[in-house]
A and B are shown apart, each in its own frame.
Chain A
Amino acid sequence: MRTRVIAATVALYAACDGATRQPPPAKVAGVRVVDVIPVSLSGETWQDAEPFLALYASNAQLMAASAFTPNPGGSASGTAPIFVSSDGGDTWTLRNTLPSEGMTADITHAVGATPPVLYSGILKVPGVPLNELKASDFLSPATMTLQASRADVDQPFVRTAQAASADRVYVGLNDFDAPDGRTATVDVSLDGGATYKSRRIETRATVGQNGPSIRPAVAQDRTVYVAYFGWRATAGSTVTSDIAVVRDDSGAGGATPFRDLLDPSDHLPGRLVATHVTIPWSNAPTLGQERIGSTLSIAVNPLRSDTVYLAWADRVGTGDIYTVHLRRSGDRGATWTGDLRTVTNATNASLAVSANGTVGFLYQQVTGSDSSSRWVTRLEQSRDGFTTHQDAVLATVPANSPPLQFLPYIGDYNGLLTRGDRFLGVFSASNAPDSTNFPQGVVYHRRVDFATHRLLDGSGATVAVSIDPFFFSVPVLP
C-alpha cells in the first residue's frame, strides 16, 4: 500500500500544473462551512466519509445528511445514524434511524414533497443488500420503513420528484443480477416508494457490467436524465468506457422508459457523450489516500430541462492520475460541448443548477506533493459556460493525514444541491483544527481549541484528528 501511495504521489507531482500551486482565491461573501459533528460527539475519531445531503424546497430549515458515520453505541441496536438539521444547517444532530447494524455500506437519500418525508437507499450491514427506505418523519426516532430489498446491487443513488398524487422516486444502481451484463438500472417508483420497477438503461454490449455510478437527475417538467458508465473493455485494472446519458420526457412512467435520447452513431438509447475513455479502476489508495474509478455527476436546470450538465473523471494519460471533465448540453442531451472545465487529479465531482441557470461544480482535488500535498475542496459557479467563473475554496487540508481507516477515504461521492439563492452541499475532509484550512471560515460544534490546534473530548482530553463531514452554503451568483 505504501508503495502505491508513494508512486501516486510522485505521479501527482509530475502532473500538477502551475494553477494548482497558486494561493487560494479571495474569500467569497456569505459562505458558511459547518463541521456536522455535534458537541455531544466530541470524542469521535471515525472516518466519516462519503457524505450526502437532502433538503426541502418548501422548508429551508429542515435537512438530512449522512456519511459513513457509525452508531456511537455500536452495532447491537441494529441501527445506523443520519444527521438532521432543523435550523438550516447551522447545527446538526445524529439520530439512529436506519435499519443497518452500526453503519451502512452505501447511503444516499432525497426528500418527498411534504416535509419531513425522506427516502433513502442503503446497502445494509451485514451482507450489503439494497434497502429502499422511507421515513414519514425523518425527525422521528422511529426506524425508517423498508419498502424494497434485494441483493447484488451497488451504489444506490436516490433522487425524487414531486407529482400531484405521489412522490416519484428514482434510485440509480448497479444491479449485478440484470440480464446480459447490462447492469445499469434505475429503480423507479411512481407511488411514493410503495412499489418499484427496475428499469434497465444500458442498451449496448458491455464487458459484463456497467460502472458503479448510475446517476439520475430530474427537472420540474418531469424530464429525467440518467448518466452512466458504459464499460466496454477491461485490461488489468483499466476499463475502457463510454460516458452515456439516457433521457425520459415523462417521468419514466411509461412502459419503456429512458428511450427518448438516441445516439446518432447507432440510433440506440443513450447518447454517448464521450467514448473509449480510460477509467483507472483502483480500489486502493491512489489519489491522496483515496480510491478512484467511478466519479460521475449529472444535473439539469430545474426550470429549463433543455440544459443539462455532466461531469465524470477518467485518466487522460498526460501524467495525470484522474481528471475530471465538465460538459454541457443545451438541447436535451442531443449535442454536447467539449470540456468546459478539465481538472487534473480531482474526484468527487458534484453538479447542481440553480433556478437562475447558474451551475455549481463541486470537486475535491489533490494539489502539491509528498508531505505538502493537500485535498482542496472547491465550489465553482458559472453563468456563461465557464468562460468566467467564481471559485470558492471551501477547505484545503493535508492529504496524507489522518491515515486512512478504510476506503473510501473521503468518499466515492459528495453532495451538492441548490435551493433559492444558495448552493448547499456536503463534503468530507480532515477535521484538523487549523483555521487556515478553511479559507471561507468554519464553525465547529464539537469541542476544539483552534489556538493550540487540538480537538477535545468531553473531558478536555485531546482527540485524534479524523475525517468529518462538512456542510456548506454558498450564495448563487446573481
Chain B
Amino acid sequence: MYTRSAMFLAVLLALPGAAALGQMSRATLVKQSDIIFIGTVTQVGAVAVPEVPASDRTVVVHVDQVLEKPAAVALGAGDSVTVQTAQPGSLKPGSQATFYTTGWIFGQGVAVREVGHEPGHSPVVVADQQAAVARARLEMNDADLKAHIQKAAMVVAGRVEQVRPAELAGAPAHRTRISEHDAQWQEAIIQVQDGIKGAQAGEQVVVRFPTSLDVAWVGTPRFTVGQEGTFLLHKDSTTGSPESVMAGRSVPAYTALHKSDVLPKQDALRIRVLMRKP
C-alpha cells in the first residue's frame, strides 16, 4: 500500500543507526505517521486548501519528496500541503524538514497533522532520509510483531489439515442470532510442524476463523486445506465458546483474527530471532 523505492533497502543497509530526534525517536514518529515527506515551508499562518481555516498552527509546505503515503492519496513532489503543526511557531518560511504526519482532511488538496518534524541540513539528502525512514519503519514493524508474539498464546509453523464448521457449544444465544454481520465461524485443524511458542511439533490445534464476506470481517485471515504458514494464535475470546472438540475430547479453541496472525512459513525464523531479542 505504501510507495517505497526498492533502493531503500540497499541504501539503508549501508547507513548508521538513526539518532533520536528530540522528544521523540524517529521510529516513534514513523509509527504514528501515515504520510511522510520532505518539504519546504512557504507560508506560515496560511492554508493551501479552502476546507481548512488558517490559524497560527497552520503552515503551507511545498512537497520536495514523498517518502511514504497511502496509495489512495494523490500527493507528489511539487504539491502544496497544509500542515497543522504540533506547536505554533515551530516552523519558519524557507525551512526544509522531513515531516511526519497523519492525514487530516482530503479534499481539493491534502491537509495533514504534524506528528513531528526533523529539521533538515539544507539541502536534505533525499536518499539518506528515505533510508532512515525505511529503516525506522522496519524497526517499528519488528517491534509491533514482537509485541504481537508476546500477546499470542501459541505460535506455530504448520499446515491446515482440515476445515470444518464450528460448533459453538455454550455460546450465548445472541451469538447465534441472524445478522448480516454474523461471522459464519469455521474451524481449521492445523498440524503443528514447528512449535515456536506454547506448542510442540506433532500437535494439532483448532483455529476458528470467520468465513463471512461481511464488512465487519473484511481483511480477517481465512484458512484453506493445505495452507502452510506461521500462525500466531490467541485463545478464543470472541465466539463465546472457548472450547472445541477434537477426536472426542475437549480442547482449547484459538483464533487468528489479525492480519499479522498469519504469516508466510519462512517467517518462523524471523519470529525466533525476534523472540530472542531483549
Q: How many residues of A contact B (CB 8 A)?
A: 63
Minimal beta-carbon separation of A212 from chain B (angstroms): 6
State whether B106 touches A209 (Cβ < 8 A).
no
Who on chain B is nearest to A293 by CB?
B180
State whether B107 touches A96 (Cβ < 8 A).
no
A-B contact pairs, 16 of them (CB 8 A): A38-B106, A38-B107, A38-B108, A73-B34, A73-B70, A76-B31, A93-B106, A105-B181, A125-B216, A141-B113, A283-B180, A283-B182, A404-B213, A405-B218, A408-B215, A459-B76
**From residue 43 to 101 of chain B, which have CB atoms closer than 8 A to chain A?**
51, 70-76, 84
State whether A41 touches B213 (Cβ < 8 A).
no
Minimal beta-carbon separation of B245 from chain A (angstroms): 26
Chain B residues contacting A438 (CB-CB under 8 Å) are: none
Per-residue contact bits, chain B 164-186, to A (CB 8 Å; 1 contact, 0 not): 00000000001001111110100
**Cα A76 to Cα B109 with chains together (Å):** 22
Q: Tell me, yes or no, whether A86 is within 8 Å of chain B by CB.
A: yes
**Cα A174 to Cα B180 with chains together (Å):** 12
The answer, among B31, B32, B180, for a CB contact under 8 Å with A407, is: B180
Chain A residues contacting B241 (CB-CB under 8 Å) are: none
State whether A41 touches B73 (Cβ < 8 A).
yes
State whether A44 touches B72 (Cβ < 8 A).
yes
Q: Tell me, yes or no, whether B102 is within 8 Å of chain A by CB.
A: yes
The answer, among B76, B110, B181, B184, for a CB contact under 8 Å with A128, is: B181
Q: Tell me, yes or no, whether B203 is within 8 Å of chain A by CB.
A: no
Q: Which of A72, A94, A177, A447 has the most CB of B within 10 A?
A: A72
Chain B residues contacting A183 (CB-CB under 8 Å) are: 177
Interface size for chain B: under 10, 10 to 19, 20 to 34, or 35 or more residues? Answer: 35 or more
**Cα A60 to Cα B218 with chains together (Å):** 36
State whether B106 touches A41 (Cβ < 8 A).
yes
Main secondary structure, interface of B, reads loop
The answer, among A38, A43, A176, for a CB contact under 8 Å with B71, is: A43
State whether B51 touches A154 (Cβ < 8 A).
no
Q: A39-B74, A77-B34 are in contact. List 17 more A-B contacts (CB 8 A).
A: A50-B215, A72-B72, A72-B106, A73-B70, A74-B1, A94-B105, A123-B181, A123-B216, A141-B105, A152-B174, A183-B177, A212-B180, A283-B214, A293-B180, A406-B218, A407-B215, A458-B76
Chain B residues contacting A91 (CB-CB under 8 Å) are: 107-108
Per-residue contact bits, chain B 218-238, to A (CB 8 Å; 1 contact, 0 not): 100000000000000000000
Chain B residues contacting A406 (CB-CB under 8 Å) are: 213-215, 217-218
Chain B residues contacting A45 (CB-CB under 8 Å) are: 71-72
Per-residue contact bits, chain A 40-73, to B (CB 8 Å; 1 contact, 0 not): 1111111001100000000000000000100111
State whether A72 touches B177 (Cβ < 8 A).
no
Minimal beta-carbon separation of B227 from chain A (angstroms): 19
A residues with a Cβ closer than 8 A to B are 38-46, 49-50, 68, 71-74, 76-77, 84, 86, 91-96, 103, 105-106, 123, 125, 128, 141, 152, 154-155, 174, 176-177, 183, 208-209, 212, 234, 239, 281, 283-285, 291, 293-294, 404-408, 412, 445, 447, 457-459
State whether A40 touches B213 (Cβ < 8 A).
no
Q: Tell me, yes or no, whether B212 is within 8 Å of chain A by CB.
A: yes
**From residue 21 to 43 of chain B, which have CB atoms closer than 8 A to chain A?**
31-32, 34-35
Minimal beta-carbon separation of A100 from chain B (angstroms): 11
Chain B residues contacting A74 (CB-CB under 8 Å) are: 1, 34, 70
Per-residue contact bits, chain B 231-274, to A (CB 8 Å; 1 contact, 0 not): 00000000000000000000000000000000000000000000
Minimal beta-carbon separation of B152 from chain A (angstroms): 17
**Cα A291 to Cα B74 with chains together (Å):** 33
Query: With A86-B51, A92-B107, A96-B104 known to touch, is A43 a contact of B216 (CB < 8 Å)?
Result: no
Q: Tell me, yes or no, whether B103 is within 8 Å of chain A by CB.
A: yes
Chain B residues contacting A95 (CB-CB under 8 Å) are: 104-105
Chain A residues contacting B218 (CB-CB under 8 Å) are: 405-406
